[in-house]
Structure 1
Amino acid sequence: MKKKLGKKYMLWGIADVGEGLVAFISGTYLSFFMTDVALIPLSITSVAMFVMSASDFILASTAGTLILMLPEGRWGRLRSYLLICPVIAAVFFVIHFISFGNNIIITALVITAAYILARCMYNLTFVANLSLINVIATNQTEKNQLSSQRMIGSNLGRMLANTVTPVLITLFAVQYSERALYPMIMAGGGVIYILFNWVQFWLAGKREKAANDYSELKLRDVFSALVTNAQLFVIVLIDLTSNVTSIVLPALAVYYYKYVFQQPQLTALHMLLTGVAALGGAMLVRIAGSKIQSPRKILLFVYPIIAIFIFGTRFCTWSPFLFMGANIIFHGLTGTTQPFELSLYMDNVTYIKNNTGKDMNSLVMGFSNMTVKIANIIKSLLIPITLMLSGYVAGEANEAVKLAIINAYSIFPMLFPLLGFFLLRFCYKLTK
């Protein structure tokens, strides 16, 4: 019988600060680094970004299975990954922000290879960290507590990444070139990522071994659990709402402020305020989570509002601050949906275990990482295609580029909260 969580678990989620930091420095600024700093042509950038995103998707989809099937590590089946993998990932995260002067092909190849290796280690850490919630919590209330704290940490990391990066670029642009600044910033984020994962490794302590009831799983067990469980794939599609909002739109916002408003200095303020809003939404769930009896009803209420405000940004092009206000609202709402979307995965873990007797914790929780990768694939296709079709030339703002960015920001991402609403209302069948 596990003891209830002590006060030290108020620190739970600190690893997610590091994860959010490195993931969003990479996710938000890598495409911009390739097109506007390394000056890699859009045709090469689009191919490289697609290869990176597709590889990341494959790695994410197999991370949970690998954790279940590989032998247990010295420090536990899950905790071992928090100790070792972040160090390797941090090194390659730095390398994928290195450019080699005018040697475009070498730069693109190094960025792509380093990204894939970094994400391989990152995905294993991410899934292990997320799976620990189900292992160390003693009841549903503690699961909700740890899940909301995780989202608070993740949103804090995203906010830091998207706010501090442009500020540092602006402050040190005189002393250093942007080619040098991005790897330096990534190195600082990597150190934080490593240290914060080690703190979470310590927090989990002996609880994983005490709670660990994993059995040896074979590939046919995994395959059987997937093909007989359509609800898991419904959850993945529902979960795209928050991930498209938090991954695709910040990356587009960098171009929005540079080319639509032509006020790139406002990017840092935008990232700060939307990050604070998302953090506030997650904290609200942390405070009121135990009183919320039906997360599904809240999601059904919030999803249409998110869609309305995303679409509404197209009418704010005359005022960057009105645009910023609309973003603050829907990012805040997205912050409230993320812990509830995560709870759908946890329900699915229980569902599979009750029906098969197999503990598929890491496999199922790993699927929540897949939605991040799908959102990254969408971003890797949407941004280059949008820019290429508009006749984009780095540094030149014209009406075609502006209109393309406005449409990309307000129309396509709006479809995902509407899809989430439809699937949750008509296709999601799991009940308490």
Structure 2
Amino acid sequence: MSEQKEPKKISGSLKKFFGVGDFGFTLMSNIDTFYASYFFTNIAKFSTGIVAVMTTISAVVDAILSMMYGAFMNKGKAKKWGRYRSWLILTPWLVPFLYAGQFIRIGNGMAAVVFVTLAMITSRIAWNLPYIASISMINVAAKTPEDRMALSSSRSIWTSAASVVYSFVGPAVVSFFASIVGEANSYAATAFVFACLMFAGMYAHFVMFKGYEPTGEEEAAMAAAMQKQVAGQPKVKAMDAVACNPHLIALLISDMLKYVVFFLVNGMAAYYFTYLSGNPGLMTPFMLAANILGIIASYLARHVVGKLGGKNSIILSYIIMAAAGFLAFILRSNTTIVIVLMSILMFFMYISNTADPELYANCAQFSGEKLGYDVTGTVMGLLTVPIKLGIVARGLLISGCLALGAYTSAMADMSYFTEANASELATLQTGVCAGFMIIPAVCVLVGALLLQFGYKLGKNN
């Protein structure tokens, strides 16, 4: 076997451009976030019950599969270009075709429902594999906490920039295609184009990561050389990486609570601006401000984490987020102050997002030492699980908050409310504030406690 090579240092291109794949991914996924429900109900003409069934089935399947992708990469045979790097080009080219299918109604009845549901499930399989591989490569390529933070920060900056760009470009591209292929086909066309950008970005990651990971052939040679050493060792399931690691369990639950906050704040914002501030148009500047702050937070995060460490940075961020949420509830009648406070909440959420990969990398190392073999893909792949669970919880919690506010479809028109039924508006406002401010604040407080007492890895513990 050849001599052990010195670890390759992180290149300048990686430090600056790692995250272009996530830029495309965010542009692409925003089509689903902002237009899927409208397409299903207003264009494809599915009933709301059918839409609920389709989206719930696809979300649950996606959440279950997300727990398995990393283990699949760890346990399977390494592909030609490496165990993780290979996935940056193996499936992304499929995404434009599968994802566009989500916005096409073919036929009627059950056939159309099955077609769209399968398109949602398969497109997510095709994009989750490279997404997880890209995250895993952070731990593979970066050998120091500083390098991991540099890559995580770069990735977060590109992701935040995509959200800002989408607010201008997304609706414009949909309108452009509507003028060419008609409204019914404009969403599929936009999904196809943005998915192509994701593919191009993942290919850029593939190129930039060349030389940081053994190829499939090199890994096979190393495995053959070590075969005698490992022959007597017991076989351990990859998912034991979770069972043997209480720090990882605490991190996963804390992370899930954070994403519940992310989806609740974004999902309930429109209700706040409609039923409390009385100006739905403020939703756009609020989201734009939050996304711009996200770029700033992603840049500053590397300095914050460098000073405080990943765990302490997240806990501090959670405490500030909770304070902002509770204070916004107290001052909920002042829209300007609420916008400022909830923007602060989102700012520190982006800080915590940037610090996440360091904590997962620590968990990957801990589980690997416990089990005696590499579980990087298994652990880093779990980064997506809290996001998926947050999506599932989003629908349940938003529905629950609206039920708490005794919301009915008649309330969609503000003219419904008069002096005679002012108490109904007050009840609805209570439910909206619970979802927009109170539940998010409670969630991050619980998350901070879980990290403080349940996660004991890293240089600051």
- 2:320 is aligned to 305
- CA 1:87 to 1:251, structure 2 compared with 1: closer, same or farther past 3 Å? farther
Q: Distance in 2 between matches of 1:109 and 1:257?
A: 36
Find out whether 1:11 has 2:17 as its counterpart. Answer: yes
Which amino acid is the alignment partner of residue 96 of structure 1? Q
Equivalent in 43, 50, 66 of residue 49 of structure 2? 43
Find out whether 1:282 has 2:298 as its counterpart. Answer: yes
Q: Distance in 2 between matches of 1:117 and 1:363?
A: 21
1:226-285 Cα offsets, whole Å, 9 max, x none, are: 322222111111222442333343244355556665655444333221111122111101
Q: Which moved more, 1:195-204 or 1:107-116?
A: 107-116
1:265-320 Cα offsets, whole Å, 9 max, x none, are: 44433322111112211110134543x24332232222122123234444666565
- 1:424 is aligned to 451
Following superposition of structure 1 onto structure 2, how do residues 275-424 of structure 1 map, counting pairs within 5 Å? 275-290=291-306, 292-314=307-329, 318=333, 320-384=335-399, 386=401, 390-392=407-409, 396-397=413-414, 399=425, 404-424=431-451
Q: Which moved more, 1:359-368 or 1:330-339?
A: 330-339
TM-score by length of 2: 0.82
Q: Which moved more, 1:178-187 or 1:112-121?
A: 178-187
- 1:129 is aligned to 134
Equivalent in 184, 198, 203 of residue 198 of structure 1? 203
Contact 1:97 1:182 in 2 (8 A): yes
Q: Secondary structure at the match of 1:151?
A: helix
- CA 1:70 to 1:8, structure 2 compared with 1: closer, same or farther past 3 Å? same
1:60-99 Cα offsets, whole Å, 9 max, x none, are: 1010011112222222221221113112123222222334
Which amino acid is the alignment partner of residue 296 of structure 1? K
Q: Distance in 1 between matches of 2:10 and 2:457?
A: 28
TM-score by length of 1: 0.87
Q: Distance in 1 between matches of 2:331 and 2:116?
A: 36
- CA 1:382 to 1:134, structure 2 compared with 1: closer, same or farther past 3 Å? same
- CA 1:312 to 1:115, structure 2 compared with 1: closer, same or farther past 3 Å? farther
Q: Distance in 2 between matches of 1:324 and 1:170?
A: 29
Q: Secondary structure at the match of 1:220?
A: coil
Q: Distance in 2 between matches of 1:265 and 1:182?
A: 23
Following superposition of structure 1 onto structure 2, how do residues 90-239 of structure 1 map, counting pairs within 5 Å? 90-99=96-105, 108-162=113-167, 164-166=169-171, 179-209=184-214, 220-239=236-255
- CA 1:60 to 1:162, structure 2 compared with 1: closer, same or farther past 3 Å? farther
- How far the C-alpha of 1:131 sits from its partner, in A, is 0.5
- How far the C-alpha of 1:170 sits from its partner, in A, is 7.4
- CA 1:331 to 1:195, structure 2 compared with 1: closer, same or farther past 3 Å? same
CA RMSD, 1 decimal: 3.3
Contact 1:306 1:330 in 2 (8 A): yes
Contact 2:246 2:454 in 1 (8 A): no
- How far the C-alpha of 1:14 sits from its partner, in A, is 1.3
- 2:72 is aligned to 66
- CA 1:387 to 1:110, structure 2 compared with 1: closer, same or farther past 3 Å? farther
Following superposition of structure 1 onto structure 2, how do residues 18-29 of structure 1 map, counting pairs within 5 Å? 18-29=24-35
Q: Distance in 2 between matches of 1:267 and 1:199?
A: 34
Q: Which moved more, 1:259-268 or 1:332-341?
A: 259-268
Aligned residue-pair number: 430
Gaps of 5+ in 2: 1-5, 417-424
Q: Which moved more, 1:160-169 or 1:421-430?
A: 160-169
Q: Distance in 1 between matches of 2:193 and 2:12?
A: 29
Q: Distance in 2 between matches of 1:67 and 1:205?
A: 18
Contact 2:236 2:371 in 1 (8 A): no
Contact 2:324 2:342 in 1 (8 A): yes
Q: Distance in 2 between matches of 1:116 and 1:196?
A: 22
- CA 1:384 to 1:115, structure 2 compared with 1: closer, same or farther past 3 Å? farther
Contact 1:164 1:268 in 2 (8 A): no
Q: Distance in 1 between matches of 2:48 and 2:400?
A: 9
- 2:3 is aligned to none
Q: Secondary structure at the match of 1:48?
A: helix
Which amino acid is the alignment partner of residue 443 of structure 2? F
Q: Which has the larger radius of gyration?
A: 2
- How far the C-alpha of 1:369 sits from its partner, in A, is 0.8
- How far the C-alpha of 1:210 sits from its partner, in A, is 7.1
Task: Report the identity percentage.
Answer: 23
Q: Distance in 1 between matches of 2:356 and 2:301?
A: 12
Contact 1:308 1:414 in 2 (8 A): yes
- How far the C-alpha of 1:116 sits from its partner, in A, is 0.8
- How far the C-alpha of 1:385 sits from its partner, in A, is 5.1
- CA 1:94 to 1:312, structure 2 compared with 1: closer, same or farther past 3 Å? farther
Which amino acid is the alignment partner of residue 408 of structure 1? G
Which amino acid is the alignment partner of residue 137 of structure 1? A
- CA 1:20 to 1:172, structure 2 compared with 1: closer, same or farther past 3 Å? closer
- CA 1:168 to 1:245, structure 2 compared with 1: closer, same or farther past 3 Å? farther
Q: Distance in 2 between matches of 1:316 and 1:175?
A: 47
